[in-house]
Structure 1
Amino acid sequence: MEQNMVSWFEVPVTNMDRAKAFYDKVFQIEIQVQDFGGTLMGWFPWAEGKPGANGSLIQHESYKPSNTDGVLIYFASSDVQKELDRVEAAGGKVLRPKTQISPEVGYMGVFLDSEGNRIALHSRA
């Protein structure tokens, strides 16, 4: 295979303004929102030539946030605790605190976002 398996992801939201504010605050980023004929997409920052998949928030009636069903996305972090410390102030809930997976793999944490999606974090430290 010439590339990693994941090339794109979409995080369902029911309120784009609230979701944008949540992710901007937790990750200290600036999501850019565009309207594609009634489908709102909020683009996560993309670094050309860097490893990892790109994705967006998406608001459309066919997309439903879930805290139990479907795929679990892991966002990369320099230290999981940094984002977890900002989750509740941004309107989310920490479901699993920073937990060591193994010394070789690093750490993970899980939270609910402002829309009710279960989202994970991973860091080496």
Structure 2
Amino acid sequence: MKRVINWFEIPAVDFERAVRFYETVMQTTLRREEMGGARFGIFPYEMPATSGAVTQMAALKPGSDGTLIYLDATPDVDAVLGRVEAAGGSVVLQKTLVSEDIGYIGIFIDSEGNRVGVHAPK
């Protein structure tokens, strides 16, 4: 296995609100696509990097007690967490040092109620 994760989907009820939330918090533009009745706001990436999307489809429901993914917050977890509340979310774990080797993490609840982490090396 060359990588453990190759795609992720963050569920959204209000697709545009969720896409705006992540565009604001991560300071990027998500590419909007529709496929098979589903809507995707795809995070930018360069191959062979992993990517994923904010996704609106009937089979996905937002929640705060399922799988936890961590988005790249390089260079600073505090900067990303500092934009969460103004974008409509809430911070549930402030910047925390995991270890010298791993770096820092933080966790927030997004505009849809999903629990999402952010990580940056030390």
Runs of 4+ in 1 over 3 A off after TM superposition: none
The amino acid across from 1:104 in the alignment is D
The amino acid across from 2:67 in the alignment is V
Match of 1:115 in 2: 112
State percent identity of aligned pairs: 40
Q: Secondary structure at the match of 2:83?
A: helix
Match of 1:16 in 2: 15
Question: RMSD value over aligned CA atoms?
Answer: 1.1
TM-score (ref. length: structure 2): 0.94
Alpha-carbon shift at residue 38 of structure 1 (Å): 2.2
Alpha-carbon shift at residue 116 of structure 1 (Å): 0.4
Match of 1:66 in 2: 63
Alpha-carbon shift at residue 15 of structure 1 (Å): 0.8
Match of 1:34 in 2: 33
Q: Secondary structure at the match of 1:4?
A: coil
Q: Secondary structure at the match of 1:23?
A: helix
Alpha-carbon shift at residue 89 of structure 1 (Å): 0.4
Q: Secondary structure at the match of 1:5?
A: coil
The amino acid across from 1:12 in the alignment is P
1:89 aligns with 2:86: yes
